[in-house]
Amino acid sequence: MAATAAMAGRLWWKHGVIYQIYPRSFMDSNGDGIGDLDGIRQRLDHLSFLGVDGIWISPCFPSPMKDFGYDVSDYCDIDPMFGDLASFDRLLAEAHARDIKVILDWVPNHTSDQHAWFLESRRSVKDPKRDWYVWRDPKLDGSPPNNWQAIFGGSAWEWDTETGQYYLHSFLTEQPDLNWRNPDVEAAMHDVLHFWLKRGVDGFRIDVIHKIAKDPELRDNPLHENGLPGYLGQIHVNDEDHPDVHGMLRSIRRVFDRYPERMTVGEVALSHPDPAVTASYLGKGDELDLAFNFSFMLGPWTAADYRREIDQFLGLIPAGCWPDWVLSNHDFARHASRHDHPELGEKRARVAAALMLTLRGTPFLYYGEEIGMRDGVIPEDRMQDPLAWTIHPKLSRDPERTPMQWAGGAGAGFSDGEPWLPIADGHDQRNVETQRWDPGSMLHLYRDLIALRRATPALEGGSFDWVDSDTDVLAWKRRAPGSRALVALNLGEAPASARLPEARVTGGLHTAHGSPLPARSGTVELQPCEGLVLVVED
């Protein structure tokens, strides 16, 4: 079946499923309590079993780890904590041998303050690298050059006593912003891409791409009428989503054009989210390949809300471009926790899986969601995320970053040592080992959905149209040449039905494993939080 799809022009990042690995938390191979690249390699079996097409590894480059790798001190190496270039090459080769693509995380907006470029830049106002970052004189009263705020709290400007100027940092003070208006910076950052693309990397997730261009005059942001303090209390006309970012993206795209089948997916995490702006980062098919669609992250668990978000995003995708869907990542509470429910929590997570894997567009899965992992409860004295102290412990992103639950027992099969974050409660029951032998488990549901998607051209790349249904039900049809699928998902707490087109059912699955599939589609009845994916005769 995979061969047939390939012949029909299957493009891995478009038709496949991408799985995010937070490397600190996936698998520790040497007992220091921190996940690493050899650990990921040891667990490739799991990824093959699951059937994903590609993995995205959050930053694994040398870093002081102030923001756990999103503060890079060398873009062209691997942090010793995670391994070295040789262990990376081994991982890449073994992943490729299993037909799993590997994408890395490129952080272009800022470096670590320990990056050689910044160490040089801060030496003196005359340093040749001075202009690689954004340095400015204080105002006459000594205050920062403008009113910009750091997303991680406080002014976006840090005073440097030695050289008597401020530097700009959109996140932590240890993450100075690069000056993308300097052509040498742009060239050096393109070289980073070449370095990894030549090594065989299949693409990049691009961190906060909407931030790289700012107002050249560094004008103040107007205040937002919401009256909130800090970053959210401003309208970010001058420090995010500046129109010049699109030209910079087109140049980045030209780097990728030299390497066939490599891809980019960009994070456009606007302070005031707007799917239209997100979609604009696809350009005319000449900017990003995919722009993370975070619209599911913020909404409630209602069919109406999902319907609206789906309609909106699909409607915004420019001709020739491709949508994508995200329910969880390393910056948000896990969806199984966000939408947990005393009786229906598990069933909701199963319906969510069917939704992600049967919509038109590339699904991004977050490690652990395939076993229904919930957020951990992290005591304050074990919190690691800097947001816990720069803003508030409630904003800590540690709960969604707890170690992968491979097995029961002390280290959850993740580590023989003391894990860097506590293992989430309930891992003795909820883990890969137990679920692997249970055909009714969440893990098998994800695996079956991925296999069904891969075997069904209509699900991988077909058209999308809504079908009439009860209010709490989402129902749609997908169609590709010679292939047809129907989906009906009940998000509600009562039985409901959908009126699917009449056809003979040839395959598919029920989110309640073991429930029989109807012989024909037509009106289908669904129990609360249950869903059907039907492959029907064309």
Task: Answer whether 41's CB lies under 8 Å from 92's CB.
Answer: no
Measure CA of the first residue to CA of the last residue in the chain; give whole Å: 17
| Given 8, 32, 74, 433, the residue binding Ca ion (CB under 5 A) | 32
Nearest-10 crossing angle of helices 183-199, 85-97 = 50
| Residue number with CB closer to Ca ion (32 or 244) | 32
Q: How many CB atoms lie within 10 A of CB 480?
A: 17
Q: How far is the CB of 181 from ligand GLC (least distance, A)?
A: 20
Q: At what angle do helices 442-455 and 345-358 cross, to 10 degrees?
A: 20
**Nearest CB to ligand GLC, comparing residues 171 and 446:** 171
User: Toward ligand GLC, which CB reaches closer, 330 or 339?
Assistant: 330
Q: Using an 8 Å Cβ cutoff, are 144 and 153 in contact?
A: no
Residues 214 and 239: beta-carbon distance below 8 Å: yes
Identify any residues that bridge with 365 across adjacent strands, giving them in sequence order: 19
* Residue 417, both tokens: 């040592």
Nearer to ligand GLC, 36 or 177 (CB): 177
Using the CB atoms, write b or e for 146-161: b if 16+ within 10 Å.
Answer: bbbbbbbbebbbbeee
What gap in Å lies between CA 449 and CA 447, rounded to an integer?
5
Q: Is 207 a catalytic residue?
A: yes
User: Of these partners, ligand GLC, Ca ion, none, which one is at the site of residue 477 (CB under 5 to 8 Å by kind)?
Assistant: none
Please answer whether residues 122 and 163 qualify as being in contact, where contact means their C-beta atoms are separated by less than 8 angstroms.
yes
Q: Which is nearer to ligand GLC, 61 or 70 (CB)?
A: 70
Q: Show the 3-state SS of 203-260.
A: EEEECCHHHCCCCCCCCCCCECCCCCCCHHHECCCCCCCCCCHHHHHHHHHHHHHCCC
Residue partners of 302: CB distance under 8 A and separation at least 6:
472, 491
- Least gap, CB of 449 to ligand GLC (angstroms): 26
Q: How far is the CB of 232 from ligand GLC (least distance, A)?
A: 15
Identity of the residue, 55 or 269, whose beta carbon is nearer to ligand GLC in the bound complex: 269
* Selected catalytic residue, list 207, 239, 398, 530: 207
**Of residues 207, 272, 266, 206, the one with CA closest to residue 237:** 272
d(CA 446, CA 430): 15
Partner interacting with residue 171 (select from Ca ion, ligand GLC, none; CB below 5-8 Å by kind): ligand GLC
CB under 5 to 8 A by kind: which of ligand GLC, Ca ion, none does 286 bind? none
79 interacts with Ca ion by CB under 5 A: no
For the bound state, the minimum distance from the C-beta of residue 331 to ligand GLC, rounded and expressed in Å, comes to 5
- Hey, what amino acid is at 524? V
Is 42 in contact with 29 (CB distance < 8 Å)? yes
Smallest gap from Cβ 49 to Ca ion, in A, equals 23
Q: How far is the CB of 419 from ligand GLC (least distance, A)?
A: 19
Kindly name the residue from 174, 177, 267, 398 that is annotated as catalytic: 267
Regarding 263 and contact with Ca ion (CB under 5 A), the answer is: no
28 binds Ca ion (CB under 5 A): yes
Q: Could you tell which of ligand GLC, Ca ion, none binds residue 207, using a CB distance below 5 to 8 A set by kind?
A: ligand GLC
SS3 287: coil
Q: At its nearest, how many Å lie between Ca ion and the CB of residue 92?
A: 19
Binds 22: which of Ca ion, ligand GLC, none (CB < 5-8 Å by kind): none
List phi, psi (to 5°) of 482.
Answer: 75, 10
Residue 67's binding partner among ligand GLC, Ca ion, none (Cβ under 5 to 8 angstroms by kind) is ligand GLC
Name the segment binding Ca ion (CB under 5 A); options: 11-19, 21-29, 115-123, 140-148: 21-29
Q: Across 32-72, where does the E strand assignment appear?
A: 54-57
- Which one of 30-38, 60-68, 366-374, 429-437 is the stretch in contact with Ca ion (CB under 5 A)? 30-38
Closest CB to ligand GLC among residues 171, 301? 171
Mark the segment that binds Ca ion (CB under 5 A) among 32-40, 262-270, 281-289, 518-526. 32-40
Cβ atoms of 176 and 118 within 8 Å: the answer is yes
Please give the residue ranges that form the binding site for ligand GLC (CB under 6 A): 67, 70, 107, 171, 207-208, 267, 269, 330-331
Give the C-alpha distances (Å, rounded to integers) separating 404 from 221, 319, 335, 399, 456: 41, 39, 16, 12, 30
Tell me, yes or no, if 267 is annotated catalytic. yes
Residue 34 interacting partner from Ca ion, ligand GLC, none (CB closer than 5 to 8 Å by kind): Ca ion
Residues 5, 17, 27, 34: which binds Ca ion (CB under 5 A)? Answer: 34
- Beta strands 496-499 and 473-480, pairing class: unpaired
Give min distance, CB of 205 to ligand GLC, in A.
9
Q: How far is the CB of 54 from ligand GLC (least distance, A)?
A: 18
Q: Which residues pair with 478 in a beta bridge?
A: 464, 485
Q: Which does 497 bind (CB under 5 to 8 A by kind): ligand GLC, Ca ion, none?
A: none
Select 30 or 312, whichever has its Cβ closest to Ca ion.
30
* Distance in angstroms (rounded) separating the CA atoms of residues 535 and 129: 59
Q: Which of 15, 36, 241, 462 binds Ca ion (CB under 5 A)?
A: 36
Residue nearest to ligand GLC (CB): 70
Q: Which does 36 bind (CB under 5 to 8 A by kind): ligand GLC, Ca ion, none?
A: Ca ion
Looking at beta carbons only, is 171 or 367 nearer to ligand GLC?
A: 171
Which residues of the chain form contacts with Ca ion (CB under 5 A)? 28, 30, 32, 34, 36
> Catalytic amino acids?
207, 267
